[in-house]
């Protein structure tokens, strides 16, 4: 299978090359040339598989340039680091409400599902191509830690992660800065995640720099990230009662749109999911888009759910590509207007199967308390946003995106419980090693040039 850019001005690439490239040379995002379609028989065959086997079977439609045995071994290695035997357990809270727990990986966040796999894919590429690779990413909290732990100590790799200094949770910062690994560079910038992401995209647009430093992207602009996240939706859907599978809504806390886009893409591949609710915090560009048809940047307001403190949702471009009938020229026009003005109003906007909800900082603690009092369940601040509202007439599956122990202050204030996890407690004894860098492409290029492999 080949992968093409949403902007239509880059050559099609195979799976491994698209993964290694990350952002397309024309500034667009890679997508499959055609989405595969899963038949009813395919879904029945998937139903008996454990999580690694399901992931392997799903990816066989995409990673066609890696032999079956090799890819199965890469996948198996990726999920041995998860602490729960089901990898992504479903927890029933009520007849019409379940939670899909996605925090049992090594950094206690949903990003581990994709980034453990991506780290092992990078390791495979370094070994087979006899080349080093330098990985660059930006994070609002969880992506950085998961990306770092996916590449921790792997030969032939160096990883550079940008994060907004003082705007991630303290334990999220420690997960990035206390590894002690020589191939990890946590780069603290002044400003917001959007500032980091803007600089990152400028760097990837510099083709000479990208190629000379063998630079690859670890953010959800990388197609492997989104495809890996499709699998936990498929796994959850297969475990639902057969008579409820066609009336389920997944409720997804999201800032950069990659998490919920993965489920939507799976739906477009033939899995009959009823719909998706985009659950935002007070940085609500996606809520405003799906309720008004206007995509407009606002000021980033630091919140109790810091991983969602984003106003420019990168993965929206992939949804846009499908929404305009795969018209790359139209995508270029819309993205150019948005870059120049910070806004775009869609006439007759089709939200497809999406709805949206919004939750501000004043509401998050009360929602955490309500969920705890009603169900005895402890939700982290991001997951709490997904409990803001749900349709009682259909089955709702809330994606629980992070372990509550990563946000102890908020949990303690809301319900008087002090959540802990051994891996996080161990970090408190280690020194923080971070590198202050200006949030400019030039400063970041200079830092990478001095340390790249």
> DSSP for 375-440?
HS----HHHHHHTS---TTSEEEEEE-B-GGG-HHHHHHHHS-----HHHHHHTTSPP--EE--SS
> Which residues does residue 5 pair with via DSSP β-bridges, in sequence order?
30
Catalytic entry in 77, 111, 201, 277: 111
Tokens of 450: 């001095």
Q: Is 100 exposed, middle or buried (0-12, 13-18, 19+ CB in 10 A)?
A: buried
Q: Is 426 exposed, middle or buried (0-12, 13-18, 19+ CB in 10 A)?
A: exposed
DSSP, collapsed to helix, strand or coil, labels residue 117 as: helix
CB 303 within 8 A of CB 380: no
Helix (H) / strand (E) containing 59: helix 51-59
Q: What's the rounded Cα separation, in Å, for the pair 152 and 184?
A: 7
User: Whose CA is closest to 185, among 438, 436, 443?
Assistant: 436
CB 31 within 8 A of CB 319: no
CB 224 within 8 A of CB 150: no
End-to-end CA distance of the chain: 30
User: Whose CA is closest to 401, among 275, 288, 297, 263?
Assistant: 263
Q: What's the rounded Cα separation, in Å, for the pair 180 and 182?
A: 7
Pairing of strands 184-189, 215-217: unpaired
Sheet harboring 435-436: ordered strands across? 215-217, 133-138, 157-164, 184-189, 435-436
Q: Residue 311 contacts by C-beta under 8 Å, 6 or more apart in sequence?
A: 192, 194, 283, 285, 297, 298, 299, 300
Tokens of 392: 């009682």
Residue 406 designated active-site? no
CB 280 within 8 A of CB 273: no
User: Whose CA is closest to 196, among 155, 154, 153, 137?
Assistant: 137
Q: What's the rounded Cα separation, in Å, for the pair 133 and 178?
A: 22
Return the active site residues: 111
């Amino acid at each position: 299978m080949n992968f093409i850019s949403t902007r239509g001005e880059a050559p099609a690439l195979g799976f491994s090359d698209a993964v290694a490239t990350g952002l397309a040379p024309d500034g667009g995002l890679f997508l499959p040339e055609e989405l595969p379609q899963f038949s009813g028989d395919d879904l029945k065959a998937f139903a008996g598989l454990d999580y690694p086997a399901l992931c392997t079977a799903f990816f066989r439609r995409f990673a066609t340039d890696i032999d079956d045995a090799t890819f199965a071994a890469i996948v198996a290695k990726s999920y041995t680091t998860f602490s729960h035997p089901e990898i992504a357990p479903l927890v029933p809270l009520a007849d019409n409400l379940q939670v899909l727990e996605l925090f049992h990986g090594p950094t206690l966040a949903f990003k581990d599902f994709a980034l453990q796999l991506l780290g092992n894919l990078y390791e495979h590429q370094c070994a087979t191509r006899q080349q080093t690779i330098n990985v660059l990413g930006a994070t609002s909290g969880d992506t950085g830690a998961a990306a770092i732990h996916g590449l921790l100590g792997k030969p032939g790799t160096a990883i550079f992660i940008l994060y907004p200094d003082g705007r991630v949770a303290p334990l999220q910062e420690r997960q990035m800065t206390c590894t002690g690994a020589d191939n990890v560079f946590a780069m603290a910038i002044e400003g917001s995640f959007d500032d980091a992401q803007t600089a990152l995209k400028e760097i990837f647009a510099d083709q000479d720099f990208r190629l000379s430093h063998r630079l690859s992207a670890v953010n959800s602009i990388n197609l492997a990230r989104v495809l890996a996240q499709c699998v936990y939706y498929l796994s959850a859907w297969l475990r639902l009662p057969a008579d409820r599978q066609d009336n389920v809504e997944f409720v997804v806390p999201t800032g950069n749109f990659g998490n919920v886009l993965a489920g939507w893409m799976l739906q477009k591949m033939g899995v009959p999911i009823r719909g998706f609710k985009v659950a935002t915090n007070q940085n609500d560009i996606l809520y405003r888009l799906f309720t008004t048809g206007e995509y407009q940047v606002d000021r980033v307001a630091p919140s109790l759910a810091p991983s969602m403190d984003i106003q420019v949702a990168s993965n929206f471009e992939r949804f846009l590509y499908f929404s305009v009938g795969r018209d790359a020229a139209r995508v270029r026009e819309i993205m150019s207007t948005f870059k120049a003005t910070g806004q775009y109003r869609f006439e007759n906007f089709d939200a497809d199967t999406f709805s949206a909800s919004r939750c501000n900082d004043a509401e998050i603690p009360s929602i955490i308390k309500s969920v705890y009092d009603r169900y005895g369940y402890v939700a982290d601040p991001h997951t709490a946003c997904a409990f803001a509202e749900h349709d009682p007439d259909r089955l709702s599956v809330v994606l629980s995106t992070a372990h509550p122990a990563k946000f102890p202050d908020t949990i303690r204030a809301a319900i008087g419980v002090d959540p802990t996890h051994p891996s996080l407690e161990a970090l408190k004894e280690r020194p923080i090693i971070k590198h202050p860098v200006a949030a400019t492409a030039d400063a970041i290029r200079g830092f990478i040039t001095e340390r790249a492999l």
